Amino acid sequence: MVLSIFWKEGIVPKTSSVLVAIIVFCSSVTSTTMGYDGSLMNGLNILPAYNDFFQLDTSKTALSTASTWIGNVVVGIAFAKVPDWIGRKPSMLLASLITIVGVILGTAAQGFAMFVVSRILVGIGAGFSSMAGPIYFAETLPIKWRGIALCLIYDFWYVGGLVASGVT
């Protein structure tokens, strides 16, 4: 039974390996998102329907691709101390919410400006999560798992890229 791996008084796994797997999975969402986003944009940029809808030229294509990285730069400057102020888990939750808002705006984008703003929001959310996730790893994982888990966090970048390659 699935619930038997958890203590009765809370949802905390009995074994450290289950806890490590949960922490690695949750914290690796950021790198999976960034890998997915990068590969997805490469796929979108070659689709005629996408180029026609947004009437893209070379500079607009470059801006639509780079806008996520603009969001990453903004978050590095503006949000650097937030995980220290509000905590790692609330920071990752806030980052996820920002990313979800960006994805919804991007999905509903009716014009190029709205699409770029949505991608900047995705970059802010992913960048914010990139600050809080590895710190959370380093602070919560048992020493015997810490090294491999920190190495795995960005291996999920390629998982996201593979998923996006299949989608596009």
Burial class (CB in 10 A: 0-12, 13-18, 19+), 43: middle
What tokens appear for 17 in the block? 């390996």
pLDDT for residue 128 is more than 80: yes
* C-alpha to C-alpha distance for 162 and 141, rounded to whole angstroms: 27
Tell me how far the alpha carbon of residue 95 is from its chain's centroid. 8
Instruction: Tell me how many degrees the CA angle 118-98-21 measures, rounded to the nearest 5.
Output: 125
Nearest to 36 by CA among 166, 161, 123, 124: 161
83 and 135 Cβ atoms separated by less than 8 Å: yes
Window from 5-19, 80-94, 102-116 with minimum mean pLDDT: 5-19
Dihedral, CA of residue 66, residue 67, residue 72 and residue 78, to nearest 10: 140
Look at residue 13 and give its three-state secondary structure: strand
13 pairs with which residues across the strands? 6
What tokens appear for 56 in the block? 């893209």
pLDDT at 5: 46
pLDDT at 12: 65
pTM of the model: 0.82
Domains of the chain and CATH, by start: 16-167 (1.20.1250.20)
Average pLDDT estimate for 60-78: 91
Nearest to 153 by CA among 166, 135, 167, 139: 135
